[in-house]
Structure 1
């Protein structure tokens, strides 16, 4: 369930190529994720990660959204990075302070020429925390 928390995280100059590329990347964060203790405290750890990501994306043209659940509860704090027509990535084992890593991953993804987030330069949390890489639907069509 989408919490309709779509945030254009900044006011970047849309005339630049980098900004155009970044505008095609969306970071989705599970707002209902709990912290490592399983605490039911509010705001939930997922909401705190979402806010940290919005703060890290300030000044960038990256869309940051929250959803109710990404279904990755055993790996706790979860997020996904999406780009139209490219592979999508799901990450787990994040912390409430992983926002800068998600933004760094989004930037790498935005400038990728092959539609993949490059391994080199990817933050360690996005290497260790990779849960799934999902192909674009166009790739699966006959």
Structure 2
């Protein structure tokens, strides 16, 4: 089953716009794409996740699974994000036991949304 990692590319993460640099969310997307991806993980850039005060924001989702939204992410978190995404992919319902989650997913969760349908 394909897991989707949504990455807000417009997130400024509290940083004033820099004309010579992409927003922090776009920098996070670039950092994630520069690494090997877990099997069946698709990265989907999105324009806004309405978590502006807590950006850069990401979300993990898949059909029939819980969706998680995380904030305060940066390019330095890319490895942990991908490790956490792999754990999410291996959890049948998307719920990774709290103690088995990567640290940033334990501390930066913004929402857990039940499966639709």
Question: The TM-score by the shorter chain falls in which range?
Answer: 0.7 to 0.9
**Structure 2 Cα separation of the partners of residues 97 and 89 of structure 1:** 20
Once the two structures are superposed, the pairs formed by residues 1-142 of structure 1 within 5 Å of their partners are: 21=1, 24-36=2-14, 38-41=15-18, 42-58=21-37, 60-138=39-117
Unaligned runs of 5+ in 2: none
Runs of 4+ with deviation above 4 angstroms: none
Is this contact kept in 1: 2:67–2:94, CA < 8 A? no
CA contact (8 A) 2:37 2:82 kept: no
Larger CA Rg, structure 1 vs 2: 1
Q: Deviations over 1:75-101 (max 9, x none)?
A: 121000011111000000112222112
State the number of aligned residues.
115
Report if the CA contact (8 A) 2:3-2:42 is conserved: yes
Taking structure 2 as the reference length, what is the TM-score of the superposition?
A: 0.87
| Structure 1 SS opposite 2:110 | strand
